[in-house]
């Protein structure tokens, strides 16, 4: 069916035929003379956005749970998350007296260690499962061998029974 020519439609019908497309919701938004409908539409969108934002803020605020400090104290220290777990080795006795990366000399009888990234002076707990654990102070950089995360001084290696094996798997935890 073809559209009739505007001259063939009576005058009253012509007005409604011309106005009909302007009443279509999408057309109203585009050609609104004062922008009134556009402002109403934008207002509704803004209100929905505000409601969603407020709901999210309430949900996030309600999801935070206070932790009881006594819960952490009751947990055994071995339940803490390790910084890393991998191989450990120890310094040779022939390195005694040589300067470490921190500037202090290597003393085999001190509980010290080398780590690639931990800050000098950081205290860490080195645990070898079933063999022992020791708390050491980081004062050097290394080891630079794949698969190893820490080099221990001789005294620290003795505490975790590392002397006979030379290299063994350990886990490093933040010292309390």
Tokens 């969603």 sit on residue: 52
DSSP assignment letter at 85: E
Q: Which two tokens stand for residue 149?
A: 């995360």
Rounded average pLDDT over 35-58? 71
Least confident of 16-20, 59-63, 106-110: 16-20
17 pLDDT band (50/70/90 cuts)? very low
Rounded average pLDDT over 118-133? 94
Q: Is the predicted pLDDT of residue 98 greater than 80, yes or no?
A: yes
Q: Residue 88 in 3-state DSSP? A: strand
The chain-wide mean pLDDT, for the chain, equals 77
Beta strand segments in 76-167, E:
84-90, 112-114, 123-128, 132-140, 148-152
Rounded average pLDDT over 32-49? 63
Domain boundaries, the chain: 9-63, 80-174
Q: Which residue has the higher pLDDT, 162 or 34?
A: 162
Q: Which two tokens stand for residue 117?
A: 């990234």
Q: Which residue has the higher pLDDT, 13 or 45?
A: 45
The CATH code for residues 80-174 is 2.40.40.10
Q: Residue 46 in 3-state DSSP? A: helix
Q: Is the predicted pLDDT of residue 21 greater than 60, yes or no?
A: no
Q: Which residue has the higher pLDDT, 105 or 35?
A: 105
Tokens 């080195």 sit on residue: 126
Where b means 16+ CB within 10 Å and e means fewer, 136-164 reads bbbbbbbbeeeebbbbbbbbbbbbbebee
Percent of the chain exceeding pLDDT 70 equals 65
């Amino acid at each position: 069916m073809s559209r009739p020519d505007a001259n063939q439609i009576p005058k009253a019908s012509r007005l409604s035929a011309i106005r009909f497309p302007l009443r279509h919701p999408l057309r109203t938004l585009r050609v609104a003379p004062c922008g009134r409908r556009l402002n109403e539409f934008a207002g509704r969108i803004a209100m929905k956005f505000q409601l969603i934002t407020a709901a999210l803020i309430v949900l996030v605020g309600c999801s935070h749970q206070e932790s009881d400090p006594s819960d952490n104290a009751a947990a055994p220290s071995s339940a803490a998350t390790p910084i890393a777990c991998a191989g450990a080795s120890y310094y040779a006795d022939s390195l005694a007296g040589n300067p470490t990366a921190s500037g202090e000399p290597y003393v085999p009888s001190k509980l010290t260690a080398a780590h690639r990234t931990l800050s000098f002076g950081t205290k860490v707990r080195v645990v070898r499962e079933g063999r022992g654990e020791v708390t050491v102070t980081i004062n050097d950089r290394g080891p630079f061998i794949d698969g190893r995360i820490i080099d221990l001084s001789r005294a620290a290696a003795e505490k975790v029974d590392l002397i006979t094996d030379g290299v063994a798997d350990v886990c490093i935890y933040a010292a309390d």
